[in-house]
């Protein structure tokens, strides 16, 4: 899939991380927990941290030019 869409590993990783963190935050609205607000707050904190990492360029460093492979 990465080769077909010509995306690098960094882009795939940041997308996967976002999906997992976002889904975890959504689960607290469906699954009963003892501390749903804490779980939602933690998910929001992790999303903010992921955005900071994306902005820092760390995921671009993981990308590679698939045409050279």
Q: Residue 64 in contact with residue 7, Cβ under 8 Å?
A: no
Give pTM, 2 decimals. 0.74
Q: Give the confidence band of 66 by pLDDT, cuts at 50, 70, 90.
A: very low
What CA–CA distances, in Å, run from 12 to 4, 15, 23, 34? 13, 5, 16, 33
> Which residues, 6 or more positions from 54, have their beta carbon under 8 angstroms from its beta carbon?
14
Residues 60 and 12: their CA atoms lie apart, in Å, by 10
* Cβ atoms within 10 Å of 50's Cβ, excluding its own: 17
Q: What is the pLDDT of residue 33?
A: 83
Share of residues in the chain with pLDDT > 70 (%): 83
Q: Give the confidence band of 28 by pLDDT, cuts at 50, 70, 90.
A: confident
């Amino acid at each position: 899939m990465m080769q077909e869409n010509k995306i690098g590993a960094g882009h795939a990783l940041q997308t996967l991380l976002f999906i997992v963190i976002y889904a975890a935050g959504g689960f607290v609205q469906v699954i009963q927990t003892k501390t749903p607000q804490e779980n939602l707050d933690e998910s929001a904190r992790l999303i903010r941290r992921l955005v900071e990492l994306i902005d820092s360029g760390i995921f671009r460093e993981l990308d590679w030019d698939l045409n050279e492979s």
